[in-house]
């Protein structure tokens, strides 16, 4: 299963002064497939840039990696044994080794190196090294920049060749020599057979790739397959720092991979935020329900306490009213008895109330015209202040509501004295 950021497809383009060819490789069903190929002959071409554009249009399909393979003018390739060192120290060691490999080392050398096996001892490794002058790289990158072909890496086709690999003959790069067993050998009649070498490499590549596209010239296409075999291997990911020579401005910007990774991270962040917000809202809602329940319980208890206080206040008012009631006489029972004796036999008291200002009495009588003021006139301390009569619709009973108020004795005495004095003068 491919991980995020892992290469799922790549393109390799091989170039030399006489021709340019390339292939697109993709992972399908657990195996690498050679999906598309293209080759252009540059011999005698008036517009080489147009042929490069046609090649790129035939190959381009949105690859995750684009690699160029070919030779830089003035470059030198060699293989030697060295101890395993970090990247920076290894480059310093190569600077010391370069004068032994070149008659005139460049002023500003650029190195590519790759460990292809173990040396004679355990702490040594076999390095394939390719060195060239930095300004010569501009000659190689001029054409890709002209057609706006951006590449991730530039790898010499002999760098991934292992010591036990068959002989490699690249006539487009160096027609006078072939590389075998870590050394260059001059091409002489009978020294190597191109068809036999090509057959060995075909068997190797058939085990590495499923060929879905046609290869017109296997010898011309061999650099593409050698570099593709290296890229499909895990050693490529571990050795990319040792191979970086292309300027950063020529490298493509991988928007698709970045967008995919950004989308995954954004989705994860959104889910985390939603989970956090949902959890906080649920906690707030639970706390709100608890507060509402406590508030309702306190309101219920408050209503009960207010009802109890109202009842207690009413009882206190009734008690205070009864205590503070002053009707002018202390013999209340006697007064009630007097009222009862004065009422006729056909009159019944249905309700009466004592108040601070008097007595409210309700009577039921069969007489239609009950002269209540005349009946109660013998009472010395009470008089009828208000009286209302109401005849029942379906019965002959008359309901009488009367208000008895205390008589002011001092006022009545003055009135009586005034009447007596007036009568004496007469």
- Angle ∠(128,134,140) on CA atoms, nearest 5: 85
Mean pLDDT of 105-129: 83
Instruction: Evaluate whether 213 touches 23 at the Cβ level (below 8 Å).
Output: yes
Say yes or no to pLDDT of 108 above 70. Answer: yes
Domain boundaries, the chain: 9-253, 254-324, 332-425
pLDDT tens, residue by residue, 127-147: 888 888 888 888 888 888 888
**What whole-number distance in Å separates Cα of residue 30 and Cα of residue 316?**
96
Report how far apart the first and last C-alpha atoms of the chain are (Å, whole number): 140
Local structure of 250: helix, strand or coil: helix
Task: Look at 6-20, 61-75, 264-278, 336-350 and tell me which has the smallest mean pLDDT.
Answer: 336-350
Element (H, E) at 342: helix 332-342
Say yes or no to pLDDT of 1 above 50. Answer: no
pLDDT tens, residue by residue, 49-62: 999 999 999 998 66
- Half-sphere exposure for 178 (CA within 13 Å, toward CB): 18
pLDDT for position 361: 83
Q: What is the DSSP letter of 30?
A: T
CB count in 10 Å sphere of residue 227:
27
Local structure of 36: helix, strand or coil: strand
Tokens standing for residue 256: 């698709």
Say yes or no to pLDDT of 355 above 60. Answer: yes
For residue 254, give every residue at least 6 positions away whose Cβ sits within 8 Å of its Cβ, in sequence order, or none. 64
Residues composing the chain? 426
Average pLDDT, the chain: 82
Element (H, E) at 277: helix 255-324
Element (H, E) at 129: strand 124-133
The answer as to CATH 1.10.3470 being correct for domain 332-425 is no
Say yes or no to pLDDT of 22 above 90. Answer: yes
**What whole-number distance in Å separates Cα of residue 51 and Cα of residue 198?**
27
For residue 12, give every residue at least 6 positions away whose Cβ sits within 8 Å of its Cβ, in sequence order, or none. 22, 23, 25, 67, 68, 69, 224, 227, 228, 231
Question: Which residue reads 């809202």 in tokens?
Answer: 281
pLDDT for position 184: 85
**What whole-number distance in Å separates Cα of residue 323 and Cα of residue 259?**
92
Mean pLDDT of 368-383: 78
- Angle ∠(93,250,62) on CA atoms, nearest 5: 115
- Angle ∠(356,357,362) on CA atoms, nearest 5: 100
Say yes or no to pLDDT of 384 above 90. Answer: no
Q: Where residue 423 falls among pLDDT bands split at 50, 70, 90?
A: low
Say yes or no to pLDDT of 148 above 80. Answer: yes
Q: What is the DSSP letter of 2?
A: P
Share of the chain above pLDDT 90, in %: 21
pLDDT tens, residue by residue, 176-216: 888 888 888 888 776 656 677 888 899 999 899 999 888 88
For residue 386, give every residue at least 6 positions away whose Cβ sits within 8 Å of its Cβ, in sequence order, or none. 402, 403
CB count in 10 Å sphere of residue 67:
24
Region at 272 (left for phi over 0; alpha for psi -120 to 50; beta for the rest): alpha
Mean pLDDT of 306-335: 72
CATH top class, domain 9-253: alpha beta
């Amino acid at each position: 299963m491919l991980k995020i950021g892992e290469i799922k497809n790549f393109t390799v383009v091989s170039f030399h002064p006489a021709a340019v060819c390339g292939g697109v490789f993709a992972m399908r069903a657990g195996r690498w497939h050679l999906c598309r190929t293209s080759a252009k002959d540059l011999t005698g071409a008036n517009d080489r840039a147009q042929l490069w554009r046609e090649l790129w249009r035939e190959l381009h399909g949105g690859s995750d990696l684009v690699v160029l393979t070919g030779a830089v003018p003035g470059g030198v390739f060699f293989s030697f044994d060295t101890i395993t060192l970090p990247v920076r120290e290894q480059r310093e060691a190569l600077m010391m080794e370069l004068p032994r490999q070149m008659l005139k080392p460049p002023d500003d050398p650029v190195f590519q190196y790759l460990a292809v096996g173990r040396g004679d001892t355990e702490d040594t490794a076999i390095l394939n090294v390719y060195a060239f002058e930095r300004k010569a790289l501009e000659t190689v990158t001029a054409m890709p920049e002209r057609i706006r072909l951006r590449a991730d890496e530039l790898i010499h086709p002999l760098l991934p060749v292992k010591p036990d690999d068959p002989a490699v003959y690249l006539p487009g790069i160096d027609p006078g020599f072939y590389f075998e067993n870590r050394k260059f050998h001059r091409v002489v009649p009978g020294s190597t057979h191109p068809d036999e070498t090509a057959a060995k490499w075909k068997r190797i590549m058939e085990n590495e790739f499923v060929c879905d596209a046609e290869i017109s010239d296997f010898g011309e296409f061999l650099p593409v397959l050698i570099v593709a075999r290296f890229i499909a291997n895990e050693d490529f990911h571990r050795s990319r720092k040792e191979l970086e020579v292309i300027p950063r401005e020529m490298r493509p910007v991988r928007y698709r991979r970045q967008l995919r990774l950004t989308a995954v991270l954004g989705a994860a962040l959104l889910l985390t935020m939603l989970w956090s917000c949902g959890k906080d809202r649920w906690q707030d809602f639970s706390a709100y329900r608890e507060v509402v329940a406590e508030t309702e319980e306190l309101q219920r208890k408050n209503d009960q306490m207010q009802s109890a206080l109202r009842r207690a206040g009413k009882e206190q008012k009734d008690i205070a009213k009864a205590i503070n009631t002053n009707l002018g006489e202390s013999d209340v029972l006697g007064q009630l008895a007097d009222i009862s004796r004065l009422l006729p036999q056909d009159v019944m008291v249905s309700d009466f109330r004592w108040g601070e200002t008097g007595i409210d009495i309700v009577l039921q009588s069969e007489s239609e015209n009950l002269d209540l003021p005349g009946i109660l006139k013998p009472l010395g301390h009470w008089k009828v202040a208000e009286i209302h009569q109401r005849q029942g619709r379906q019965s002959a009973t008359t309901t009488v509501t009367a208000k008895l108020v205390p008589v002011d004795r001092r006022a009545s005495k003055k009135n009586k004295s005034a009447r007596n004095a007036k009568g004496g003068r007469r």
